[in-house]
Amino acid sequence: MATLKPVALMFLILCCLIAPCTCTASGSEVQAALSKAEVAAGSAYRSVVEAETAGANVADLLLRLNDSLSMLAKAQVQYRVGNLDQALSLANQCSDSLSGIEAEASIVKEAAGANGSQRILISASFSASAVAAVLVSCFFGWVLFKRRFLRKVMGMKPEVQARESE
């Protein structure tokens, strides 16, 4: 028992010395990680919106962005209650997942942009052909109509009216 007490005391002192070094993140470290995650969240959101505006289907990206933002909110909450380790871990996880979303949004946006241009080109060529067809058919329709109309007018006999004085 007598030899056990100093050993236990040494163990306790060691634990007290090691624990803060290995487990506790500093406040400034967490703040930096949170700021980084905030910036990454904004950047990822802007990329997703750009892809959405370009006409891409961003449903999957929005789901993933939601997961990351939920993580960021949890990190902020943990920071507020002083749970720095968890806040740091969540902020770092959030930043990692957001960088993937941003990269994918750029790819999807480029694909959507190319598809959009192609769609406009195809639609424009169909519309131009259709407009030309309408113009030609209306022109020939008018020529035929005019010819028939004039023939009808020429074929009419003049109406003779009796003079009132006679």
Partner 1 sequence: MNLNEYHALFIGSTMVLMLIVASPTLGLVLSLPSGERFSELWILGPDHMADNYPFNVRAGEECTVIVGVSCHMGRSAYYAVYVKLRNQTEPLPNASAAVPSPVDPEYEYRFVVAEGQTWESKLTFAFSDVSVHDNVTLLRHLSVNGVTFEVDSTSLWDSDGKGFFYQVFFELWMYDTEAKSLEYDNRFVGLWLNVTV
Task: Dig out the tokens for 112 from the structure.
Answer: 């959507």
CA gap 77, 90 in Å, rounded: 10
Answer yes or no: are the C-beta atoms of 33 and 95 closer than 8 Å: yes
Answer yes or no: are the C-beta atoms of 85 and 71 closer than 8 Å: no
Residue 55 has φ and ψ, to the nearest 5°, of: 100, 10
Residue 147 binds to partner 1 (criterion: CB under 8 A) = no
DSSP single-letter state for residue 157:
P
Residue 99 binds to partner 1 (criterion: CB under 8 A) = no
Residue 113 binds to partner 1 (criterion: CB under 8 A) = no
Residue 138 binds to partner 1 (criterion: CB under 8 A) = yes
Task: Dig out the tokens for 74 from the structure.
Answer: 């949890």
What residues numbered 36-95 form the site for partner 1, per CB under 8 A?
A: 41-42, 45-46, 48-49, 52-53, 58-59, 62, 65-66, 69-70, 72-73, 76-78, 80-81
Q: Contacting partner 1 (CB under 8 A), which of 9, 18, 19, 131? A: 131
Residue 114 binds to partner 1 (criterion: CB under 8 A) = no
CA gap 98, 90 in Å, rounded: 12
Where on the chain is the footprint of partner 1 (CB under 8 A)?
Answer: 41-42, 45-46, 48-49, 52-53, 58-59, 62, 65-66, 69-70, 72-73, 76-78, 80-81, 119-120, 123-124, 126-127, 130-131, 133-135, 138, 141-142, 145-146, 149-150
